[in-house]
Amino acid sequence: SFMEQAEAEEKHVNELEERERLNQQQRRLASGALLQEMKNITDAADASDTVLLQGFNWESHQAGKGNWYGIVESKVEMFADMGITDIWLPPCSQSVAPQGYLPSQLFNLDASAYGKKDQLKQLLAAMRQKGIRGMADIVINHRCGDQQDEQGRWNVFTTTGIESRKSFAGVMDWQGWAITLGDKFSDGTGERGPGQYDDKFDAAPDIDHGNKKVQQSIAIWMRWLRLDVGFDAWRFDFVKGYGAEYVGLYCKKSHPSWAVGELWLDMRYDDSGLCYDQNEHRQNTINWINATDKESAAFDFTTKGILQEACRNTQYWRLKDSEGKPPGLLGWMPTQAVTFLDNHDTGSTQAHWPFPGDKVLVGYAYLLTHPGIPSIFWDHVCDWGDDCRERIKVLLKLRQKAEIKVDAKVKILCADADLYIAEIGEPAALRVALGPRSSDADGAWQMGANGNDYKVWISKSKTS
């Protein structure tokens, strides 16, 4: 109705004004009081309704010709119509490499290859009008210095990129003390070496997140991304490189709607290929999530690895673990599992670990019927043609119509080499069959989607 629309619009305007007011006060208000007020304007994400789109690939910095944000903005209506609730955008800060993953001046959003700060804010505003949250790519494992110390090491960080705001002066001015000891960029003045889980990232100085000044400046930057720029959610890059507790800390200090971390760990292989049992892999992911104090979800690399192997080699027996559950993170901790087929590293032009191209829709038939928080890759929706996009949309609409919850029950009825059948929900609301062997469903089910090697039915109780 008109009244409802007017109320929604007023709430929207009030929220923007509130953000602006808090943004102005950020450096003057005690952080406890600021966080309490930020909590009030945070629209916490309902995991059961969340569908993430990765809004870029490895080439977007070139494809956008200086304004990738504008390309995403031109498709916002289409994404909203598909049922996308969140878009993960590329790293927005000035970076030594154009893709954004070697950041230097974190507050400088005008020197990004993806576009200017105003274009980014315009995109986020257009998304918010359609009820879509913006997810920022938070790259804080490492930071590139912009000046050298006396020994020629690039470990002096001067330009903050926000000189216009006096209260932010010097917030990001770090030196060798901010770098973990033992790092090749270190000058020996840091407080601590890398933690036990810290994976090395050799291209740039490794930042010491145990340092209180580092913590404070990153928290200020992340609150600014929320209040001034307009982001709502976080994707943490390369979380293998620093302690999970710091991800938890930064979430507590910035109140995102939700957050997800990229914990890309090696899976178990033996002479015959990928091992059937990947329990250690998913347990390590759960340990990381717990160590963030459950402030962050994690990408379900376990499911990706198993699912692509099952589809590629017609080994659908892989999709049922020894206890009869789904074998990935979504089988153990679905509320914190962000499922996906490919991203800018595994797929796109880097193709480090790609999902088989001819089986992508089979993959989505699994992800979009099963528990967890599904994530969809830009290429599959925008670059692979209308048919692929329409088929993904049909699956998404079935998920919504069947009201599949993030922790929906999965009953696996068959997991043979050439056929996987599962019913999802309690009572069962969706039925999915994957693989080349044909299968049917009884009269309680209505066909909702079918394609090469996949079929999805929806319970007739959901269609009436």
The partner residues of 112 in beta bridges, in order of sequence, read 115
Q: Which of 421, 381, 429 is nearest to 401 (CA)?
A: 429
| Cα 24-30-31 angle, rounded to 5 deg | 85
Q: Where would I find the beta strands (DSSP E) of 58-186?
A: 86-88, 133-138
Strands 269-270 and 259-261: unpaired
Q: Are the C-beta atoms of 455 and 462 separated by less than 8 Å? A: no
CA–CA distance, 288 with 286 (Å, rounded to integer): 5
Rounded to whole angstroms, the Cα distance separating 376 from 166 reads 41
Active site residue 262: yes
* Cβ contacts of 352 within 8 Å, gap of 6 or more: 345, 346
The tokens for 136 are 């920022």
Contact 209, 215 (CB under 8 A): yes
Q: State the number of CA atoms in the 13 A half-sphere of 300 facing the CB.
A: 30
Give the whole-angstrom CA distance, residue 290 versus residue 286.
Answer: 6
Beta bridge partners of 297: 260
The one catalytic residue among 262, 300, 423, 453: 262
Q: From CA 118, how far away is CA 110, in angstroms rounded?
A: 8
Rounded to an integer, what distance in angstroms lies between the CA atom of residue 196 and that of residue 241? 10
Residue type, position 308, single letter: Q
Which tokens go with 94?
Answer: 């000035």
Q: Write down the catalytic residue from 206, 232, 237, 321.
A: 237
Are 458 and 448 spatial neighbours (Cβ–Cβ below 8 Å)?
yes
Contact at 8 Å (CB) between 435 and 418? yes
Burial class (CB in 10 A: 0-12, 13-18, 19+), 7: exposed
Among residues 291, 290, 268, the alpha carbon closest in space to that of 278 is found at 268
Neighbours of 192 (CB within 10 A): 12
Contact between residue 172 and residue 183 where contact means Cβ atoms under 8 Å apart: no
| Helix, strand, coil shares, percent, the chain, to 5 | 40, 15, 45
List active site positions: 237, 262
